[in-house]
Amino acid sequence: MACAHLYGRTVAVTGGVDGTVRVWDLATSTSIGEPITAHTGAVTAVACTRIDGRPIAVTSGVDSTVRIWDLTTGAPIGDPLTGHTDAVTAVACTRIDGRPIAVTSSVDSTVRIWDLTTGAPIGDPLTGHTDAVTAVACTQIDGRPIAITSSRDHLVQVWDLATGTLLNLLPGHTGPVTTVACTHVDGRPIAVSSGEDLTVRVWDLTTGGIISLLPWNTAPVTAVACIQIEGRPIAVTSSRDHTLRIWDLATGTPVGEPITGHTGFIEVVACTQLAGRPIAVTSGRAHTLWLWNLPTGTALGDRLTGHTGLIEAVACTQVNGRPITVTGSRDHTVRAWSLAAGTPAGLLAGHTGPVTAVACTQLDGRPIAVTGSWDHTVRIWNLATGMPIGSPLTGHTSTVTAVACTHLNGRPVAVTSSRDHTVRVWDLTTGTAIGDPLIGHTDVVAAVGCTQLDGRPVAVTSSRDHTVRVWDLTAGTFAGLLTGHAGPVTAVACTQLDGRPVAVTGSWDHTVRVWDLTTGIPVSLFSGHSDRVTAVACTQLDGRPVAVTGSRDHTVRIWDFQTRRQTDQIDLPSDVTAVTGAPAGGIVAAFGWDIVLLERSGRDAGRQGLST
C-alpha cells in the first residue's frame, strides 16, 4: 500500500491477493475507478511517484514481475519489468540524476534498480543478501541516493544506487528482518528496521551505528512507516498482536498507548497528510482499510468493528426510536450497532457455531432479532435487553442458512432454510414449529424471503439446486417453481412493484433476476457482476424502488427497477457477504469482518455520490 495525490485529493493505492490494484479516496473512503487487474498472482507491494508530472504506481507481485501504472487512466505503462526469478517482495521509488527509478527486492535474494521512464534495468542486480530480501526503502546520504534493504538473513544492508555498490552492513537483529523505513532525525538520515526477533532498531545511516533500540517484546512487527507530527519525527509500527504503536524517534520512546481496533494481523502501514492532519493508513488480514488520526491515536471514518470472524448476515431495525443494525458472524456472536453513532449497541451470545442468518421483527411490541446458526438452532433475542427469548428452536438437522419474518393469521412467524434441504415455519410467540417441514429442494436451501401473493403470505426460497420455489405459508404447500438461473441461487429478496409482488434473486451465474410472483415469469435480468452474487436486498433510494446486490467481485451494485439499469457501483475491499436497507435511508453492507453504512451525499447521484 502507498499514498499519493490524485486530482488534488489524498489517495491510498492498495494491492490484493486477487492480483488487483485499487485506488481509494481517503477523504470519502470510496474507491476511485475500476480495480486494475495488475498481476497474475497476489500483489505484494505498491509504491507511488511521478513520471513527467503524471502520478504513477509501481507494483510487484508473486508472479516475479514489476509493473508501472498511470493512476489517472488506470492503464499500464509499458511492458512488465522482468528479471527477478522469484516473487518480488517490495518496491520503493526515488530519483537518480533527476530520473525516476524503482528499487525492488525479491525472494531470489537480489535487489534490482529500474529506470521508470524506459522500463529498463539499471546495472546488474545488487547481490549480498543470502536469503529472501523482504523490504526496501530509499533516502539520501550526503546528497547521494541510497537504498536500505532487509532480509531473512537477519541483516540490513545499505546500497549506493548511483554506483550499485554496498555501502554498509547493519548487523544486530537475531532473526529475520521483515520491514524497514527511512526518515531524518536532527537532519541525519536514519533507518528503522524490525522483524521476528521482537525488536525495533533505529540506525544512523551516516555512521552505521545504532541510535536506539525501541522496547518491544509482545509479537513480531509486521510493518513500519515514518512521518512528522508537529515537527517531530515518529515511526508507526504494526504487529501481529493486532496493534499499532507510535514512537518518538528523537527520544526512542513510545507516544501514548498502543492503538487497537484491528481484529487480525496488520500487514501494511502507510503515512500521509489528510486535511492537514498526519494520518496512518493500515490494512490487515480482514481485508479492510483503516485511517488513524496520529496526534490523537483514534480511528477516522465510520467503519464498524468488533466481530473477530467473517460477518455472514445483517439486518436493520429500530430500538427505542434509534436505527440499529444487527450482524451475525462466524465468531459465533450476534452484535447490534447504533447506525447514528457508529458504535456497538449490544452483544448477543449463545450460539455455539457460526451465525449465518439474521432477521428483525416485532413481538408483542418489542423489537426482536431471529438468528440461525451452524449449530442447527434458531434463536430469538430481545434487542432492547440483549437477552434471549425462550429456548432455542430446534428441528433442522444441519446449518440454518437463512431466516425471514412475516405474519401468519396475525401472528409473527419466522421462516428458516437449511443445508438439510428443508424450509421450516416457526411461531415466534410460542417458539414452536408450525406444520411439517416444506420439502422440495434437492440441495442446500440458501435463502428465503417473504411477501404477500393475492392476500396470502408466501415464502420464496432459493437453492443450490439452481431453482427458486414459492410456498403458501397458510396451507404449508408448494405454490410455484421459478427456473432460469444457470447456477446455484444463493440470495433472494421480495418487494412490491406497482402493487405486484416480485422476487429478486442472485446466483453464482453472476446474474440478478426479477420475477413476477403472480405469473412466475422473469421480468428483468440484471448483468454486471463479474463473480458470484452473494446478497440481495430491496429498498427505496431517492423515493425510487431499487434492488441492492453484493458479490464476491467486491462490489455493491444498485439497480433501478423502473429503468432496469444499474445506477451505482460501490467498490469494497473484499467479498460482500450481506446487504440490507437502513431504516433512515442508505445501505448497510458487510464485507470481511466489517460493516459499512453507505449513504447518499449532497452531490449528484452516481457512484461517487455514495460515501462511507
Candidates 198, 204, 221, 202; CA nearest to 212 is 202
Q: What is the pLDDT of residues 204-214, one digit of tens each?
A: 999 999 999 98
Q: What is the pLDDT of residue 610?
A: 27
The percent of residues in the chain predicted with pLDDT above 70, rounded, is 93
CA-to-CA dists, residue 170 to 131, 133, 391, angstroms = 15, 14, 64
Give the C-alpha separation, 526 to 507, whole Å: 11
- For the chain, what percentages of helix, strand and coil (3-state, to nearest 5) are there? 0, 60, 40
Mean pLDDT of the chain: 89
Task: Please tell me what DSSP assigns to residue 574.
Answer: S
Cell matching residue 559: 439497480
**What is 313-534's CATH number, 3.40.50.970, 2.60.40.2470, 2.130.10.10, 3.20.20.80?**
2.130.10.10
Identify which has the larger pLDDT, 320 or 148.
148
* Bridge partners, 387 (sequence order): 382
Cell matching residue 611: 460515501
Q: What is the pLDDT of residue 579?
A: 93
- Contact of 594 with 303, CB cutoff 8 Å: yes
Cell matching residue 450: 417473504
Region 128-157: mean pLDDT is 96
Candidates 453, 446, 455, 501; CA nearest to 479 is 453
Q: What is the pLDDT of residue 367?
A: 95
Q: What is the pLDDT of residues 220-251, one digit of tens each?
A: 888 899 998 888 999 999 888 888 899 999 99
Q: What is the pLDDT of residues 418-467, one digit of tens each?
A: 999 999 999 999 999 999 999 999 999 999 999 999 999 999 999 999 99
Q: Give me the residue spans of the domains in the chain.
A: 1-127, 313-534, 535-612
**125, pLDDT greater than 60:** yes
Q: What is the pLDDT of residues 54-80, one digit of tens each?
A: 999 999 999 999 999 999 888 999 999
Region 327-336: mean pLDDT is 88
Could you give the count of Cα atoms lying within 13 Å of 266 in the half-sphere of its Cβ? 30
Give the C-alpha separation, 574 to 78, whole Å: 29
Q: Which run of H or E residues covers position 175?
A: none
Radius of gyration, alpha carbons of the chain: 27
The percent of residues in the chain predicted with pLDDT above 90, rounded, is 62
**477, pLDDT greater than 90:** yes
Q: What is the pLDDT of residue 591?
A: 84
**172, pLDDT greater than 80:** yes
Identify which has the larger pLDDT, 404 or 221.
404
Cell matching residue 208: 552505521
**DSSP for 315-332, written as a single string:** EEEEETTEEEEEEEETTS
Cell matching residue 203: 540506525
Q: What is the pLDDT of residue 87?
A: 94
* Bridge partners, 13 (sequence order): 2, 23
Q: What is the pLDDT of residue 217?
A: 61
Which residue is associated with the grid cell 530480501?
Answer: 133
CA-to-CA dists, residue 29 to 23, 300, 357, 402, 597, angstroms = 10, 10, 28, 30, 11
Could you give the count of Cα atoms lying within 13 Å of 139 in the half-sphere of its Cβ? 23
- Contact of 392 with 377, CB cutoff 8 Å: yes
Q: What is the pLDDT of residue 605?
A: 32
Q: What is the pLDDT of residue 70?
A: 92
**166, pLDDT greater than 90:** yes
Cell matching residue 545: 424502488
The side-by-side arrangement of strands in the sheet containing 533-541 is 533-541, 544-551, 555-560, 565-571
Q: What is the pLDDT of residue 18?
A: 67
Cell matching residue 65: 514481475
Candidates 111, 147, 102; CA nearest to 129 is 111
Task: Please tell me what DSSP assigns to residue 36.
Answer: E
CA-to-CA dists, residue 109 to 64, 151, 309, 500, angstroms = 12, 8, 36, 66
Identify which has the larger pLDDT, 565 or 602.
565
Q: What is the pLDDT of residue 170?
A: 95
Q: pLDDT class for 602, splitting at 50, 70, 90?
A: very low
**601, pLDDT greater than 70:** no
Q: What is the pLDDT of residues 540-595, one digit of tens each?
A: 888 889 999 999 998 999 999 999 999 998 888 778 999 998 877 789 898 877 78
* pTM for this predicted structure: 0.56
What SS3 state is found at 351? coil
Q: What is the pLDDT of residue 306?
A: 59
Q: What is the pLDDT of residue 31?
A: 65
**DSSP for 224-292, written as a single string:** EEEEEETTEEEEEEEETTS-EEEEETTTTEEEEEEE---SS-EEEEEEEEETTEEEEEEEETT--EEEE
Q: What does CATH list as the number for 1-127?
A: 2.130.10.10
**DSSP for 395-451, written as a single string:** --SS-EEEEEEEEETTEEEEEEEETTSEEEEEETTTTEE-SSPEE--SS-EEEEEEE
Written out in words, the top-level CATH class of the domain with range 535-612 is: mainly beta
Q: Do domains 313-534 and 535-612 have the same CATH topology?
A: no
**289, pLDDT greater than 70:** no
Angle at CA 318, nearest 5°, toward 325 and 365? 130
